[in-house]
Amino acid sequence: MAGEDRPRVGEQAVLGRVALVHDYLNQYGGAERVLEALHELFPGAPVFTSMYDPGAMPPAYRSWDIRTSFMQRLPGVHRHHQIYLPLYPLAFRRFRLDGYEVVLSSSSAFAKGVRPAPGALHVCYCHSPMRFAWTFRQYAEREQIGPLLRRALPPLLAWLRRWDVATAQRVDVIVANSTAVAQRIRAWWGREATVIFPPVDVERARPAPPGEIGDYFLLVSRLVPYKRIDLAIAAFNALGLPLKIVGEGRDRAALMAQAGPTVEFLGQVPEDEKFHLYARCRAAIFPAEDDFGIAQVEVQAAGRPAIALARGGALDTVVDGVTGVLFPDQTVESLIEAVRRFERLHFSTGEIVRQARRFSRARFKEEMRELIERELEARRAMPGAPVSEEVQRVWS
């Protein structure tokens, strides 16, 4: 097991004093890429999580020291984890983290609720406060939630919001993945957060020669209601322009029924093919509000512009008129106008790529390393909060 190795940063060992905590490992997305980068910083650190489905995660995870909660044994938890919503706070509270002097939680809901040992440093990398609890009305509008559940959920969500705020107060340092998320943290938790953008594999993208740019627009996303793929399809039906859609999800059948002759569904594609499509599209379309939006950076790293809703992470990742076009309203009309504006503009591939390089994986790891170093240095200067020699040695 990887947990038997000694975690290293550079050439110096932390000797097992760091623990990583993550909400769940049954689906792969941007939060898991953050966890991977943290695991690269501390490759021997155990990963504490509510549940783990090896078949749904990259094969490399099978070499990690992954420690699950009692929820791992619950029937159907990997596929239907939402029905066990009330149990997550208990699952993370019950983890024993004695002996770990640095706890790094990667959380969009529950992982920050762990209880580190007294005197330990807890840094939470927050992808967002739990949006389903704080913005349930907007969330429910796009989901098929029956009337009985709609009546039953509000008391539970009120309790979760109180729990969310209370556990946020126990975290020593909160890191937000975007300016928008930092604003939510301030508004909902009453805490300030340091913004460190998540890691993007920008080096993997390669711009295509100008002669290879196609005539199509591209949309890469999970096909689920809140991603508003329906809005993009309606816009491109009206425009009569080609739109290729990459991704799978429970909305695929309904979206295909809505699509006109210029809209093509490609399903899931290998990573290399995805970057090939990025580099040769006219632009990529992002009609949803993302907490950060890794795909928005990926297409720019491939030298192509992003046309994105002017909310959430897009305000950090897309420079309007320089690396793409931002549109103000989540409506078909606003998106159509953005595409028409895009067609009137000229974009520099070199400038788009240069801006995307700000979000590299190496930059993320260095900024996280520096943040932890500063916090440990401050603790060394505080009486009554000693840091072990093993942990000090990695930052000396």
Q: Could you tell me the CATH number of the domain that includes residue 102?
A: 3.40.50
CATH number at residue 231: 3.40.50.2000
203: tokens are: 């080096």
Please state, in angstroms and rounded to a whole number, the distance separating the CA atoms of residues 51 and 61. 13
For 258, list phi and psi in degrees, rounded to 5.
-80, -25
Structurally, the chain folds into a number of domains equal to 2
| Domain, as residue range, for 216 | 202-358
Residue partners of 261: CB distance under 8 A and separation at least 6: none
Beta-strand ranges (E) seen in 50-176 are 66-68, 102-107, 121-126, 173-176
Cβ–Cβ < 8 Å for 375, 121: yes
Encode the chain (396 residues) as per-residue pLDDT tens digits. Answer: 333 333 334 333 343 489 999 999 998 888 999 999 999 999 989 999 999 999 999 999 999 999 999 999 999 989 888 888 899 999 999 999 998 999 999 999 999 999 999 989 999 999 999 988 898 776 665 556 656 666 778 888 999 999 999 999 999 999 999 999 999 999 999 999 999 999 999 999 999 999 999 999 999 998 988 899 999 999 999 999 999 999 998 899 999 999 999 999 999 999 999 999 999 999 999 999 999 999 999 999 999 999 999 999 999 999 999 999 999 999 999 999 999 999 999 999 999 999 999 999 999 999 999 999 999 988 877 765 544 444 444 443
* pTM for the predicted model, two decimal places: 0.86
Assess contact for 316 and 197: CB atoms under 8 A. Answer: yes
Q: Is 219 helix (H, G, I), strand (E, B) or coil?
A: strand
Phi, psi of 360 (to 5 degrees): -70, 160
207 & 133 share domain: no
Question: Which among 110, 112, 114 is positioned nearest to 97, based on CA atoms?
Answer: 114
Q: Are residues 210 and 347 in the same domain?
A: yes
33 and 65 both lie in a single domain = yes
Residue 334 near residue 310, CB atoms below 8 Å: no
Q: Does 272 share its domain with 194? A: no
The answer on 90 and 160 residing in a single domain is yes
